Homo-oligomer: A and B are copies of this chain.
Amino acid sequence: MIEDIQNYMTAVGEKAKRASRAMDRAETGHKDQALLAIADQIESGRDRIKAENAKDLAAGKARGLSAAMLDRLELTDSRIDAMAEGLRQIAALADPVGQVSDLNYRPSGIQVGKMRVPLGVIGIIYESRPNVTVDAAGLCLKSGNACILRGGSESLHSNQALAACIREGLEQAGLPQAAVQVIETTDRAAVGKLLKMDQYVDVIVPRGGKGLIERIIAESRIPVIKHLDGICHVYIDDRADLQKALDIAFNAKTQRFGVCNAMETLLVAEGIAPQVLPRLADRFQEAGVELRGCEKTRGLIPQCLPATDEDWATEYLAPILSIRVVSGLDEAMDHIYRYSSSHTEAIVTEDYTRARRFLREVDSSSVMVNASTRFADGFEYGLGAEIGISTDKLHARGPVGLEGLTTQKFIVLGDGQIRT
């Protein structure tokens, strides 16, 4: 059985590699045509998709999946519409492949520049939401990559129904069906094998909880685009505009709780803490946010619980906030240096020099002045769509859109130049 899976995955890898060579050179028009055809297939295949999704939902209920899990698994009409609409939006984005930049003449007479090209084959490993199948396939297709998709076992039937729509759309546009392959087995050995196929797969993008991502990093022989934690900080400087500070801190924590770009720790300069903290405490209390603070914070907010060292290092993903009063910018940046997960940090200040220092000196994938950390997102940044967020330093960093699924090669144009 395991050996069959090894052979199956090897065949998947070979087909993907072959398809990637055709995708690499596919014309923009053909790729867009495929995206639009897949969108049509999803809309016209709505009944079949819902019937297959119903099988997953029934199996999920029988297995005792939580209501939240079942909700994420369900493909309603509006979610099916959203998938099709997402593909049409991707079709409308500019094609990054083939873009030439920095083409300059050199003293030798050659012209040297860079051309943007696809990565090749992208492996995507994700959990329950079946819409990831369509979003990820669309982004990989537009960026000229082949992809191998491995969804959660609980959404197997839904994913296969979507895969059929994708294959049909690819065929209509004259592109290889193997450009998007959705793994047909739920055996965990398939993931293990995928993570070792570095001869076929250029990069792995996991989508899911921290546990999934840690397992993938530990096992993978292929580079992984990922972030583990989003321990995002907002620092309210004593030269902050009070209203901006209150609004940004409240929004960064409460606009959505379970997301990686939500604030988890609030740092407040001691000079402004007496004005900021009691007011914020009232708003957070109304929103049902539990506060955990340092001694100085608790002096200003009586109902605040004590924060432990572990709190500073925790991504709550919940209505809980840790708060620390600091002496000023340097102590705030020291705290961030020590505890940040390098995802997103923001300063609220009207001070030019402090804003400039924060932007330069804080080493995170997104650094903000006077804006909510919730903006750290591919759509908000204008990338058009996002396949994930990276907190690593090499290759893509921050929200990863089409460009993050490509790389650049040097091109040289000459008239017969030789080196002397």
Contact = CB atoms under 8 A, between A and B. Distances in A.
A417 B381 CA distance: 13
Contacts of A250: 418
A398 interface: yes
Contacts of A395: 394-395
A375 B407 CA distance: 21
* Chief secondary structure at chain A's binding surface: mixed
- Chain A interface size range: 35 or more
Nearest to A395: B394
B363 A394 contact: no
A369 interface: yes
B410 A367 contact: yes
Contacts of A359: 115, 411
A217 to B, nearest CB: 10
A416 B119 CA distance: 38
Contacts of A308: none
Interface stretch (A86-94, A102-110, A177-185, A285-293): A102-110
**How often does this chain occur in the complex, in copies?**
2
A366 interface: yes
A302 to B, nearest CB: 27
A82 interface: no
A158 interface: no
Interface stretch (A55-63, A73-81, A241-249): A241-249
Given A367-B411, A394-B223, A417 B372 contact: yes
Contacts of A413: 368-371
A382 B106 contact: yes
A202 interface: yes
Contact of A223 (B108, B223, B346, B376): B223
Interface in A371-392: 371-372, 374-376, 380-382
Given A359-B115, A382-B112, A416-B247, A394 B393 contact: no
Interface in A33-81: none
B414 A369 contact: yes
Interface centre among A112, A223, A361, A365 (most CB of B within 10 A): A112
B418 A248 contact: yes
Contact of A410 (B366, B414, B420): B366
Interface in A222-255: 223, 241, 243-244, 247-248, 250-252, 255
Contact of A416 (B104, B120, B370, B398): B370
A112 B381 contact: yes
A255 B418 contact: yes
Interface in A201-233: 202-203, 223
12 contacts: A106-B382, A108-B375, A110-B380, A202-B393, A202-B394, A243-B416, A247-B418, A251-B419, A359-B411, A364-B409, A369-B414, A371-B412
Interface of A: 21, 24-25, 98, 104, 106, 108, 110, 112, 115, 117, 119-120, 202-203, 223, 241, 243-244, 247-248, 250-252, 255, 337, 346, 348, 357, 359-361, 363-372, 374-376, 380-382, 393-395, 397-399, 407-420
